[in-house]
Amino acid sequence: MTFIQSVPQHALQIIGAVGALFLLLILSAKNDRKWVAICTLIFGASCGIAYATFRDTGPFAEIAFATALLVAGIATLSLLGILFFKVILPLIGFTPPRILQDVSVAMIHLAWGIFCLQAYGVSLAGILTTSAVLTAVIGFSMQDTLGNILAGLAIQTDHSIRVGDWIKIDDINGRVVETRWRFTAVETRNWETIIIPNSVLMKNRFLVLGRRGGEPLQWRRWVWFNVDYRYEPSKVINAVTEALQKAEIQRVAKEPKPNCVMMEFAESYGRYAARYWLTDLAVDDPTDSEVRTHIYAALQRIGIPLSIPAHALFVTDDTEKHRAAKTERDREHQYQVLKGVALFHSLNEKELRQLAASLQEALFARGDIITQQGSVAHNLYILEDGLAEVVLLNDGLSKKVAELKSGDFFGEMALLTGEPRRATVLAVSPVKSYRLDKHSLQAVMNARPVIAEEISRILAQRQSELNSILHNLDEEAKAKRLASDQSDILGKIKNFFSLE
Nearest-CB residue for ligand CMP: 414
CB of 418 closer than 8 Å to CB of 343: no
Shortest Cβ 379–ligand CMP spacing (Å): 9
Shortest Cβ 463–ligand CMP spacing (Å): 7
Comparing CB distances to ligand CMP, the nearer of 152 and 411 is 411
Comparing CB distances to ligand CMP, the nearer of 65 and 410 is 410
Shortest Cβ 410–ligand CMP spacing (Å): 3
The secondary structure of 156-221 as a DSSP string is: HHTTSS-TT-EEEETTEEEEEEEE-SSEEEEEETTS-EEEEEHHHHHHS--EEET--TTS-S-EEE
Shortest Cβ 404–ligand CMP spacing (Å): 6
- CA distance linking residue 288 with residue 308, whole number of Å: 21
Comparing CB distances to ligand CMP, the nearer of 24 and 466 is 466
Helix (H) or strand (E) holding 233: helix 233-246
Q: Among 275, 293, 409, which residue's Cα sits nearest to residue 344?
A: 409
Comparing CB distances to ligand CMP, the nearer of 326 and 471 is 471
Name the amino acid, one letter, at 164: G
Q: Among 459, 495, 463, which residue's Cα sits nearest to residue 481?
A: 463
The binding site for ligand CMP (CB under 6 A) comprises 371, 377, 390, 401-402, 410-415, 421-423, 425, 462, 465-466
The count of C-alpha atoms lying within 13 angstroms of the C-alpha of 380, restricted to the half-sphere facing its C-beta, is 25
Shortest Cβ 426–ligand CMP spacing (Å): 10
CB of 434 closer than 8 Å to CB of 381: yes
Comparing CB distances to ligand CMP, the nearer of 258 and 411 is 411
Shortest Cβ 371–ligand CMP spacing (Å): 4
Distance of CA 135 to the CA centre of its chain: 53
Comparing CB distances to ligand CMP, the nearer of 69 and 426 is 426
CB of 364 closer than 8 Å to CB of 408: no
- CA distance linking residue 271 with residue 269, whole number of Å: 6
Shortest Cβ 390–ligand CMP spacing (Å): 4
Give, in order, the Cα–Cα distances in Å from 408 to each of 345, 364, 377, 438, 490.
Answer: 13, 15, 18, 18, 21
Q: Among 452, 435, 438, 446, which residue's Cα sits nearest to residue 491?
A: 452
For the chain, how big is the Rg over CA atoms in Å? 38
Comparing CB distances to ligand CMP, the nearer of 260 and 390 is 390
Comparing CB distances to ligand CMP, the nearer of 75 and 460 is 460
Comparing CB distances to ligand CMP, the nearer of 39 and 390 is 390
- CA distance linking residue 204 with residue 186, whole number of Å: 16
Shortest Cβ 367–ligand CMP spacing (Å): 17
Give, in order, the Cα–Cα distances in Å from 323 to each of 141, 158, 320.
Answer: 80, 69, 5
Give, in order, the Cα–Cα distances in Å from 151 to each of 156, 196, 204, 306.
Answer: 9, 12, 12, 50
Shortest Cβ 300–ligand CMP spacing (Å): 21
Shortest Cβ 358–ligand CMP spacing (Å): 18
Shortest Cβ 412–ligand CMP spacing (Å): 5
Comparing CB distances to ligand CMP, the nearer of 290 and 412 is 412
Comparing CB distances to ligand CMP, the nearer of 64 and 402 is 402
Residue 95 sits at φ, ψ, to 5 deg, of: -110, 105
State the first-to-last Cα distance of the chain, in angstroms, to the nearest integer: 117
Shortest Cβ 498–ligand CMP spacing (Å): 19
- CA distance linking residue 138 with residue 124, whole number of Å: 13
- CA distance linking residue 188 with residue 196, whole number of Å: 13
Comparing CB distances to ligand CMP, the nearer of 241 and 371 is 371
CB of 400 closer than 8 Å to CB of 469: no
